[in-house]
Amino acid sequence: MNSLEYPSNSVEQDGVGTAGTFTFAPNPNDSVPDTDVESFRYGFNSDADPTTAAKPSKAGGSVSVTWTPSRWGRNWVEVISVDKAGNASTKARYEFLVTEGRPATAQWNLADAAGSTSAHDERDKFAADKGSGVAFGAVGPGGKADAAASFDGTENSYLDSVNTVLDTARSFSVSAWVRPTDLSRDMTVVSQDGTGVPGFTLGYDTTVGTWAFGTPLTDVDTLGEWRAVARGTDGNPLVPVKDTWVLLTGVYDAQASGGPQLRLYVNKTSVGTAQRRSVWKTYGSLQIGRALTKSGYRNHFKGDLAEVRVFDRVLPAGQVAELMTIKPTRKGYWQLDSASGTTSAETGGGQALTLAGDARVYRPAPADPDDPFASPDPPAMVGAGHLVLDGAGDYAATAAAPSNGASSFTVTARAQLTAIDGTVPQTVFSLPGAAANRVQVRFRPDPNGGTASRWELAVADTDSASAAVKVFQDDQELPDTGSSGQHLAVVYDAFANEIRLYVEGQLASTARGTDNTLWSTAKGLQVGRSALGSPEHFAGVIDEVRAYDGALDLTVVDQLSLQTAIPDM
């Protein structure tokens, strides 16, 4: 057995959603050639005996099969050869390693700042030109902690990638968060231009009254389309709900076992499939919010869209479900405006931060009306109070982890250093596992006492005391001791396998990188120290601590960096 795409070695190969060819042949090293081997039985990733048949063109020959991995890590195929008399060989096993799959070819979060003339592509390849009927700044599927773009349904309601993004003759997937505000007309969420028709469309079809993912039979003049339609378990069309967010995903599998197949998902559920019996390639722009016809564009979308992602591979069901986790959900917001004994409450009534050592919440005393000339207390950094730490063993922590480090998450805080001329790193916050920090955001002083101090994000690749640690440093916003402090945010996008450190709402190229560790935190959020290894206690003021499941967009991080409390975000 062998495979060019997935060799049997210790190296992970690309990847989930990408097909490989596996060739079975009689053992060429046998002293007597196995010329009477007539067929093979094989099975992938199964502990049961292989049952799927593959027959070479002649006895003793080889045969190849195509298979697409749907999970990362160790995979295998087991094969039995069968001779003309029906005698079966012992089972042979071929193991290989698979990556999580290529990231999105293009990704438009549609969380751009109001007034932007184009939609930013997170891969920095396909910025999409904006029609005047699109407005950024709408509330996204994650509520006010999320962002989206609003489409008004007019002929100017579109985003145009300008360049071709997908090869529509090969496997691809496309996904978007969708909130329709009008279900009285056909509407396209995503398409890609052909010559006179789109190469594919994902959107709403009034004829069937539901979502559909389809490809026309031919380019230019077409008599119909191959189309997967959203249907419930009863076989009836799955009726969309107006003004409600839903995740739509269309998957085209060019190597499906039963022939090229279109599959449609609503949220994480597969709701429709169709065969694609004619395949052709488009060379036009990818469109968000409209579709091409010979007479121009039509089916303009009316409503809100967010997180449009396209892939040049198959998304298996597990990864479609993972897309649901990108949506942010707040798990904790500690304003640190007050304390009761040794605890400071969480704004939504969740688990409190417990203060340890000399940690205390500072609240400025109200002005004395009888002494108008008295000097007022210094104001709190944000709101009515803030956490004060002296760097000598005090900190605050939650009892349990507010967010699971094995999926997308965000943690933010505002920090003010007492001094920047120290010699010891100081941790602002960390998410510990059992033996290593999943993430740790800290102040890293210049070892030579100069101006090379940095804010730094450290990420352990495994939950082990000997784990390798990747470090990302921000080289744009240097640490300072100003009274307003500096806003720090770490955002992990588990689907894109990317982690980012924002300082004052800005992202430097040096403060982002690949992270595919995917291991869970085990202990509570630590504020002002590392619970593992060197404690690196923080000396200064910390305020406005937040934790989310899901990855916050740049514009939301930028909003949170403003020196004001936002309780509803």
* Per-residue model confidence as pLDDT tens digits over 51-86: 999 999 999 899 999 999 999 999 999 999 999 999
Report the pLDDT value the prediction gives residue 381, as an integer from 0 to 100.
Answer: 96
- With a cut of 60, say whether residue 30 has pLDDT above it: no
Report the pLDDT value the prediction gives residue 546, as an integer from 0 to 100.
Answer: 97
- With a cut of 90, say whether residue 418 has pLDDT above it: yes
Report the pLDDT value the prediction gives residue 447, as an integer from 0 to 100.
Answer: 80
Residue 17's φ and ψ, nearest 5 degrees, are 85, 0
d(CA 287, CA 279): 20
Long-range contacts of 58-63 (CB under 8 A, 24+ apart): 59/35, 59/84, 60/26, 60/33, 60/34, 60/35, 60/36, 61/25, 62/23, 62/24, 62/25, 62/26, 63/23, 63/24, 63/25
pLDDT digits (tens, 9 = 90+) for 193-242: 999 899 999 999 999 999 999 999 988 766 788 999 999 999 999 999 99
From edge to edge, which strands make up the β-sheet containing 286-288?
A: 118-119, 128-130, 159-160, 286-288, 187-193, 198-205, 210-216, 225-229
Report the pLDDT value the prediction gives residue 274, as an integer from 0 to 100.
Answer: 97
Strand partners, 40: 54, 81
Decide which of 250 and 376 is more confident: 250
Report the pLDDT value the prediction gives residue 31, as an integer from 0 to 100.
Answer: 53
d(CA 469, CA 532): 13
- Secondary structure of residue 35 in the 3-state scheme: coil
- Which residues make Cβ contacts (< 8 Å) with residue 81, sequence separation at least 6? 24, 26, 34, 37, 39, 40, 88, 89
- Secondary structure of residue 418 in the 3-state scheme: coil
pLDDT digits (tens, 9 = 90+) for 90-134: 999 999 999 999 999 999 999 999 999 999 998 889 999 999 999
- With a cut of 70, say whether residue 412 has pLDDT above it: yes
- The full 3-state SS of 223-244, as one line of letters, equals CCEEEEECECCCCCECCCCCCC
- The full 3-state SS of 468-496, as one line of letters, equals CEEEEEECCCCCCCCCCCEEEEEEEECCC
CA angle 447, 452, 456 (to 5 degrees): 90
Q: Which token pair is 250?
A: 């269309």
pLDDT digits (tens, 9 = 90+) for 489-515: 999 988 888 999 999 999 998 999 988
Give the mean pLDDT of 168-184: 97
d(CA 104, CA 31): 49
Helices (H) and strands (E) in the chain, counts: 2, 41
Supply the DSSP symbol for 432: E
d(CA 237, CA 232): 6
Q: Please name which of 317, 363, 511, 529 lies closest in space to residue 440, comparing C-alpha atoms.
A: 529
Cβ distance 221 to 196 under 8 Å? yes
Report the pLDDT value the prediction gives residue 411, as an integer from 0 to 100.
Answer: 97
Decide which of 251 and 450 is more confident: 251
Report the pLDDT value the prediction gives residue 297, as an integer from 0 to 100.
Answer: 97
Q: Which token pair is 223?
A: 């008599």
DSSP string of 304-361?
EEEEEEEESS---HHHHHHHGGGS-EEEEEE--S--BTTEE--TTS-PPEEEETT-EE
Report the pLDDT value the prediction gives residue 319, as an integer from 0 to 100.
Answer: 94
- Secondary structure of residue 520 in the 3-state scheme: coil
Q: Please name which of 124, 116, 125 lies closest in space to residue 507, comparing C-alpha atoms.
A: 124
Give the mean pLDDT of 391-397: 96
Give the mean pLDDT of 518-546: 94
